[in-house]
């Protein structure tokens, strides 16, 4: 039945294994067993039943190794003729071992939603004998799920499932992230908690309550009675940011956050982010070193009185909050979320938070339509480079903006590469693209694969990327973005978009598989959007945009004409309209 190179676990309609759960299972371990049994049954077309218990049956054992010297979430898969052992340092790690084994058997989860899950039906299932151990390069691997509220709860469920399958372990949300008209950036945890908290718990994921929600704990209504609690700006107190040096204001803020922490045991991390934007206090005391960090230090003290397990997060984000504290050490229950370039300052923050709960990196380039001005690029190399840089600098974790979740196709593709790179820092993009093409396009994989390279490395012109987005491809030196070169690049993009679109359309006509046809159509839509997006950029704004650029109505009308099932590929028309109307310029 078996040979030295492959261990057959299913053939001829019969299972040759039986699943042995952990001796004492918690909710996450029980879920890991359930996921293993469910997907094995789907792969083989028949469940792993007790009839598999025969003298020749091989035990597939799930084991929690609490005494392991390996990092949190690490796992080991051992395959031998006598047994298959999945061992994890945590229940979450055991779940990741299950998903890693299922990937070896042919499953893949590049995108969220059940339709986009790759679970091939097979007549025979085989595993390669041997042992492998995988450990994450950073402890916290998270996404900020923007656009998560009551109307998107089912998509939120699918996002959580997809995140766990890609070994992401942290979700950032907010009790009340303020809306804008399109609700793309809305976050309202109370609207989805009852539905989604069970999904988070059975996967052992970390829930962070954060974002710019200072208004909940330091409401503007306080201004009338306590104007000195608020920032002094241009010589007068304004109802904006808190005066971080006012002890009464800080005490009030700390008490409110401590009360929230006590009332929300589901939260493992609590953000203390100031309001977004400007309006920081200019009083003499607030100009002193460490003032913002000292305020959050006081919050951490108050929270520790009610919950020592909760991490209080400081946001290093603006010129007022980015400097590393000069003489204020972090408390053991504090962490820092660093929002700037990975440079020497990043290393200083990592070092400063080493004795506490670490520094994490806030990442914008993988899936933030807002930051990318409604056109997130597909950037596999960037995802891998991010994972390598964070490991080298020593960050405790990362939170990547996923904005909005309804626009998931491009962001998910990028995140897939980044998520894998946290476990395989030396991964090769070409091999991963081979795997992706093979699993998602079947018989057309060999013809799709070179088109992917053309899209990633030709259509996505680095000169355009740097000129209009201010982003340099990893390993690339800055490019002169003179108007003549940019105009030539725009023309080339239109030509490439036409040629690639025609090639993808031909493949669509050749396949009889509706699912594969839709996948090709999504890639073609991405190409078409690229071709429609950059010609709307006014030549008058080259090389750098200036205020006054008209809203790209032609592009918005084009988006509105697209089928609903392609909405997750393009920027939503209402979001694009709002994004550029708000800033009145492409460069805003």
Model pTM above 0.85: yes
- Residue that is last in its domain, among 106, 134, 162: 134
Report the CATH number at residue 375: 3.20.20.80
Q: Check: CB of residue 486 under 8 Å from CB of residue 539.
A: no
For residues 125 and 218, state if they share a domain: no
Residue 555 belongs to a domain: no
How far is the CA of 478 from the CAs of 296, 379, 406, 470, 486, in angstroms?
38, 17, 33, 10, 14
Which has the closest alpha carbon to 314: 292, 345, 336?
336
- Residue that is last in its domain, among 427, 447, 474: 427
Under 8 Å CB-to-CB from 27, ≥6 apart: which residues?
A: 91, 201, 202, 204
Q: Is the pLDDT of residue 291 over 50?
A: yes
Q: Is the pLDDT of residue 585 over 50?
A: no
- In this prediction, residues 263-279 reach a mean pLDDT of 95
% the chain with pLDDT above 90? 77
Residue 573 belongs to a domain: no
- Tell me: the pLDDT tens digits for 342-365? 899 999 999 999 999 999 999 999
How far is the CA of 559 from the CAs of 5, 210, 278, 526, in angstroms?
51, 32, 33, 11
For residues 90 and 164, state if they share a domain: no
pLDDT, position 573: 82
Least reliable range by pLDDT among 67-71, 164-168, 260-264: 67-71
Higher local confidence (pLDDT), 565 or 17: 17
Under 8 Å CB-to-CB from 218, ≥6 apart: which residues?
A: 229, 242, 249, 252, 253, 256
- Tell me: the pLDDT tens digits for 303-344? 999 999 999 999 999 999 999 999 999 999 999 999 998 899
Say whether 338 sits in a helix, a strand or coil: strand
For residues 127 and 145, state if they share a domain: no
What is the total count of domains within the chain?
3
pLDDT, position 556: 83
For residues 153 and 89, state if they share a domain: no
For residues 21 and 123, state if they share a domain: yes
What CA–CA distance (Å, rounded) separates 296 from 244? Answer: 9
- Tell me: the pLDDT tens digits for 458-503? 999 888 877 777 666 555 666 667 778 888 888 899 999 999 999 9
- Residue that is last in its domain, among 134, 157, 172: 134
Q: Is the pLDDT of residue 228 over 70?
A: yes
Q: Check: CB of residue 282 under 8 Å from CB of residue 232.
A: yes
For residues 478 and 355, state if they share a domain: no
Q: Is the pLDDT of residue 584 over 50?
A: no
Q: How confident is the model at residue 209 (pLDDT cuts 50, 70, 90)?
A: very high
Report the CATH number at residue 129: 3.30.379.10
Residue 102 belongs to a domain: yes
For residues 108 and 221, state if they share a domain: no
For residues 98 and 149, state if they share a domain: no
- In this prediction, residues 192-204 reach a mean pLDDT of 98
506 lies in which domain range?
435-543
Residue 116 belongs to a domain: yes
What CA–CA distance (Å, rounded) separates 401 from 411? Answer: 9
For residues 247 and 337, state if they share a domain: yes
């Amino acid at each position: 039945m078996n040979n030295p190179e492959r261990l057959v676990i299913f053939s001829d309609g019969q299972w040759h294994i039986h699943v042995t759960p952990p001796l004492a299972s918690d909710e996450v371990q029980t879920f890991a067993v359930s996921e293993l049994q469910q997907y094995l049954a789907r792969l083989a077309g028949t469940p792993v039943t007790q009839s598999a218990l025969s003298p020749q049956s091989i035990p597939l054992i799930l084991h929690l190794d609490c005494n392991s010297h390996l990092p949190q979430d690490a796992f080991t898969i051992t395959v031998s003729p006598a047994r298959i052992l999945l061992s994890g340092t945590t229940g979450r790690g055991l779940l990741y071992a299950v998903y890693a084994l299922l990937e070896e058997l042919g499953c893949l989860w590049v995108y969220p939603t059940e339709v986009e899950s790759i679970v091939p039906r097979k007549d025979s299932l085989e595993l390669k004998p041997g042992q492998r151990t995988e450990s994450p390069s950073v402890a916290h691997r998270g996404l900020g799920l923007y656009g998560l509220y009551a109307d998107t709860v089912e998509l939120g469920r699918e996002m959580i499932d997809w995140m766990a399958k890609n070994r992401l372990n942290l979700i950032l949300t907010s009790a009340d992230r303020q809306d804008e008209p399109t609700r793309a950036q809305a976050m309202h945890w109370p609207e989805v908690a009852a539905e989604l908290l069970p999904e988070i718990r059975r996967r052992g994921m970390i829930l962070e309550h954060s974002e710019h929600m200072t208004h909940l704990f330091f409401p503007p209504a306080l201004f009338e009675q306590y104007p000195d609690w608020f920032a002094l700006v241009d010589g007068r107190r304004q109802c904006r940011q808190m005066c971080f040096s006012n002890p009464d204001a800080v005490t009030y803020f700390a008490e409110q956050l401590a009360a929230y922490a006590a009332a929300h045991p589901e939260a493992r991390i609590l953000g203390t982010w100031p309001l977004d934007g400007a309006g920081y206090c200019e009083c003499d005391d607030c100009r002193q070193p460490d003032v913002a960090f000292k305020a959050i230090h006081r919050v951490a003290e108050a929270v520790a009185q009610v919950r020592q397990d909760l991490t209080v997060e400081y946001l290093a984000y603006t010129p007022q909050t980015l400097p590393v504290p000069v003489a204020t050490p972090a408390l053991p229950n504090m962490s820092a979320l660093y929002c700037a370039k990975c440079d020497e300052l990043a290393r200083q923050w990592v070092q400063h938070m080493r004795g506490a709960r670490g520094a994490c990196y806030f990442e914008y380039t993988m899936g933030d339509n807002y930051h990318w001005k409604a056109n997130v690029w597909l950037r596999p190399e960037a995802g891998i480079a991010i994972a390598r840089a964070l490991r080298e600098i020593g960050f405790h974790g990362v939170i990547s903006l996923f904005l909005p979740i309804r626009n998931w196709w491009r962001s998910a593709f990028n995140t897939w590469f980044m998520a894998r790179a946290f476990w395989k820092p030396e991964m090769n993009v070409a091999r991963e693209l081979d795997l992706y093409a093979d699993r998602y396009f079947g018989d057309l994989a060999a013809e799709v694969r070179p088109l992917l390279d053309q899209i990633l490395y030709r259509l996505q012109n680095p000169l355009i990327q740097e000129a209009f987005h201010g982003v340099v491809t990893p390993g690339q030196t800055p490019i002169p973005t003179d108007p003549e070169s940019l105009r030539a690049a725009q023309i080339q993009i239109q030509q490439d978009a036409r040629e690639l679109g025609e090639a993808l359309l031909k493949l669509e006509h050749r396949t009889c598989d509706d699912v594969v046809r839709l996948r090709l159509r999504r890639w073609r839509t991405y190409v078409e959007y690229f071709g429609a997006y950059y010609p709307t950029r006014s030549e008058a704004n080259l090389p750098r945009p200036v205020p006054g650029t008209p809203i790209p109505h032609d592009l918005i009308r084009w988006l509105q004409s697209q089928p609903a099932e392609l909405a997750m590929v393009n920027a939503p028309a209402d979001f694009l309209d709002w994004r550029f109307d708000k800033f009145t310029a492409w460069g805003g």
